[in-house]
Chain A
């Protein structure tokens, strides 16, 4: 039993902490670290999602190419499309080739021209979708040559420029995410540093006594580091868990929308913020890193403060 006057350490099984816990700011620092951890893990999660999406799109594009056969005066568009298809099917590296039907082409143009538009009066090109088994430079060059020989107006689109733009965007998203992460971690270190200085100042009498009984600076720094690691872990777990929960909920809600008619758009929007297992692992690792940064920041601050006391 404990009172304000006595405390039996044998009843607790362990001695009281050397640093008085009430003198070291706790609650507000946990809240700050939780917010920082939330921002850091949210950033990491979104970067992961951007990478997943870019990889998916690149994967879809990597084996796909399109031949565009434009209408020209004095030429039969359907015949040109069939010639281009035949040339493509004979080319090395092409696994499958198919002409888009007129209905499919209309559907592709629907977002721009509206439903039910009469395309007969418009010079709409015919598209041939190619699925490549080997998209080497040599095969692409051979395909281009075959097309130029059979249908002079046909254009081969290998989606290279779109793919490279996608790569550039993906890199920009990663770099921006890492910059935000670095800023959030720096802010965490600064917050912990201020809190540690306050804590050392608040426990100066204790620190002096520890010095007089022969404690090394490393021992005192370790006491503070352990304390701030605990606070950091609490805050980091709270922030990381909230971020992980948000990502998990988005996936759950997107599944829910899919059950209802007309919920497809919302489901698509939410499914685009769904994380994979690696994403959740990265969130956990980031939260742990935030806690470690808090502990290390505290240790370094204690050392510099102790040097000034010495």
Chain B
């Protein structure tokens, strides 16, 4: 699904923040991405979100060279990838329902064609009673579940999660982790970025460890 080969990244004329990064994300896999603050995790995630282009090396998404993608191809590719952020990135003026339905809306689908699907998913993540609530009144856990639902609604082949449990309490973090594990079981590849070692110990999965811009495997 995703292949990094000797990828390097530097901002401007500065030193490389990522050095010789090589790894793969296989279909139906679950991997943690971890590392201390300043190790380059955010930069690596931005490469994975297609927000940045590498200064060297090769990145392929679904066998497409990421450096040669045109803007419209990037948009098409992003529809196959779900992204969950630590800060949720919900639109405050849209209801929970509208936030989750957003990927369908930008794809130009009629509301009648996806309404039942969105409501069903929101019920599945425990937000069936909060359909019409605006994000400012949702709790941290509710916001994160809404953000996860938005990433899942298009049934992505790959889910990239950037510290999805960073703003929730430990019991909820465990529940969210179980949700991601369920997703993996249902066929979605998951890359779960976190620095929470206790949480990672809850589930036996390969760990990609970033340290000072270099990537190490911890099986």
Q: Are A219 and B137 in contact (CB under 8 A)?
A: no
> Distance in Å from the Cβ of A211 to the closest Cβ of chain B?
7
> Distance in Å from the Cβ of B200 to the closest Cβ of chain A?
25
Closest A residue by C-beta to B87? A205
Total interface residues in chain B, CB < 8 Å: 32
Other-chain contact of B137, A5, A9, A206, A215 (Cβ < 8 Å):
A5
Q: Which of A13-21, A178-186, A236-244 interfaces with chain B?
A: A13-21
For A110, list chain B residues within 8 Å (CB): none
Judge if A210 is at the interface, Cβ distance under 8 Å. Answer: yes
Q: Are B134 and A205 in contact (CB under 8 A)?
A: no
For A79, list chain B residues within 8 Å (CB): none
Alpha-carbon distance between A6 and B74 when the two chains are bound, in angstroms: 34
For A213, list chain B residues within 8 Å (CB): 78-79, 102-103, 106, 150
Q: Are B89 and A209 in contact (CB under 8 A)?
A: yes
Alpha-carbon distance between A215 and B108 when the two chains are bound, in angstroms: 10
Best-surrounded residue of A208, A214, A219 (most CB of chain B within 10 A):
A214
Judge if B191 is at the interface, Cβ distance under 8 Å. Answer: no
Q: Which of B31-39, B91-99, B178-186 interfaces with chain A?
A: B91-99
Q: Are A16 and B106 in contact (CB under 8 A)?
A: no
Interface residues of B in 71-115 (CB under 8 A from A): 71-72, 74-76, 78-79, 83, 89, 91-95, 97-98, 101-103, 105-108, 111
Total interface residues in chain A, CB < 8 Å: 26
Other-chain contact of B83, A9, A212, A218, A307 (Cβ < 8 Å):
A212
B115-156 Cβ-contact flags toward A at 8 Å (1 or 0): 000000000000000001110110000000000001000100
Question: Given A212-B78, A214-B79, A216-B71 in contact, is the A4-B134 Cβ separation under 8 Å?
Answer: yes
Q: Are B105 and A18 in contact (CB under 8 A)?
A: yes
> Distance in Å from the Cβ of B93 to the closest Cβ of chain A?
4
Closest B residue by C-beta to A22? B93
Judge if B49 is at the interface, Cβ distance under 8 Å. Answer: yes
